[in-house]
Amino acid sequence: MISIRVELGTRGYPVIVGPGAVGSLAGVVPSSADRVVVVTQKAVGVDVEPGVPATVVMLPDGEQAKSLANVEELCRAFSRASLSRGDAVIAVGGGVTSDVAGLAAALYHRGVEYVNVATTLLAQVDAAIGGKTGVNLPEGKNLAGAFWQPSAVLCDTDVLATLDEREITSGHGEMAKYAFLGKEPPGTGLLDLPIYEQVARCVSLKAAVVTSDERDTGRREILNYGHTLAHALEAGAFGDPPRWDLRHGEAVAIGLVFAARLARNLGRIDDERVELHRQVVSGFGLSYAMPAGASADELVALMRRDKKAHGDLKFVLDGPNGVEPVAGVDAGLVADTLVAMGCDR
């Protein structure tokens, strides 16, 4: 088992990575908790033993669970379970569960502690760590949320064996992002490590960034590499049924190659560096093809609503100083880059 600490002073917490990590839950539940509410989804199917009386509440499956209506339902369920300010919420699932349960925990009684039990690769390497909670609005991804750090995160790598291949590949989208954020030359070397070391390496990278910039006002923005377009693609798919089937990590992969091409068009990197992005994304088993029917103008409009933007278009882009935020990018150049990747105008 590997334990990595997110150093945030008195609010710091451990991320425990390895086979059987879920068995550590009772030891990380806050000592003040006389009871907990376990929030999960039917599709997760992971049982936990928190060591105190527990009420289980089910969220709907899928991305549609990320709504303010479900946050309200959770808070009401917490009240019905007589959850006090000293008790805790246990989020068992992927990024959707940690986002929604974490936001409800942040709001209920103006903040109760919560523990993330991350059951997908994407959640283990990224979503469950760092304290970003949030839900979607019709206008875009994660536009309503709060910073609320968990008291612990458990990444049980045994659980990953139950995931289908596409869910693992989606997690690889976030891992491909980390390939460009570490000190090593970008590549697919992570995949040569045992799975628990893959997860631990990504957790260490994220923990270091979160420690240096908890509230996303500077360096932490680099963790959004590839995400500005990714979130726009996800928001553009909203509907019943969705306009296209694209999981988060798959959208990040497209966003990484787009960001590289945009950086090239801005003169920040050369063609060889763009090709490296394509090779890394492909090496992690991901495609960077735009979904059929995506509109450049619509995606630009959605990207203007990105949380990093301040009335302009802001991206995290590669360059001579590495990956960094770049504000004030010309909308026409962004649209042209999207069209060159296969978007409709």
Task: Give yes or no for a contact between 276 and 283, defined as CB atoms under 8 angstroms apart.
Answer: no
Judge whether 189 lies within some domain.
Answer: no
- Measure the CA–CA gap between 39 and 5, rounded to whole angstroms: 24
Q: Are 129 and 8 members of one domain?
A: yes
Task: Give yes or no for a contact between 33 and 52, defined as CB atoms under 8 angstroms apart.
Answer: yes
Question: Which CATH number fits the domain that encloses residue 336?
Answer: 1.20.1090.10
Give the pLDDT confidence of 113-124 residue by residue, as tens digits.
999 999 999 999
* pTM of the complete model: 0.93
Judge whether 270 lies within some domain.
Answer: yes
161: Cβ contacts below 8 Å, ≥ 6 apart: none
The tokens for 226 are 């590839």
The tokens for 252 are 């990040």
Judge whether 194 lies within some domain.
Answer: no
pLDDT at 56 over 80: yes
According to DSSP, the β-strands at 152-156 and 140-147 are unpaired
Q: Please, which pLDDT band fits residue 306 given cuts at 50, 70 and 90? A: confident
- Measure the CA–CA gap between 80 and 277, rounded to whole angstroms: 50
What is the pLDDT at residue 36? 98
More confident residue, 309 or 182: 182
What is the pLDDT at residue 344? 93
Percent of the chain with pLDDT over 90: 92
Buried-state track 275-292, b at ≥16 Cβ within 10 A, e below 16: ebbeebbebbbbebebbe
The boundaries of the domain holding residue 7 are: 2-163
pLDDT at 240 over 90: no
Nearest to 307 by CA among 172, 127, 136, 123: 136
Task: Give yes or no for a contact between 242 and 330, defined as CB atoms under 8 angstroms apart.
Answer: no
What is the pLDDT at residue 139? 87
Q: Are 31 and 143 members of one domain?
A: yes
Question: Which CATH number fits the domain that encloses residue 144?
Answer: 3.40.50.1970
Total domains in the fold of the chain: 2
337: Cβ contacts below 8 Å, ≥ 6 apart: 258, 261, 262, 265
Provide the mean pLDDT of the chain.
96
Domain endpoint, select from 148, 163, 178:
163
Percent of the chain with pLDDT over 70: 100
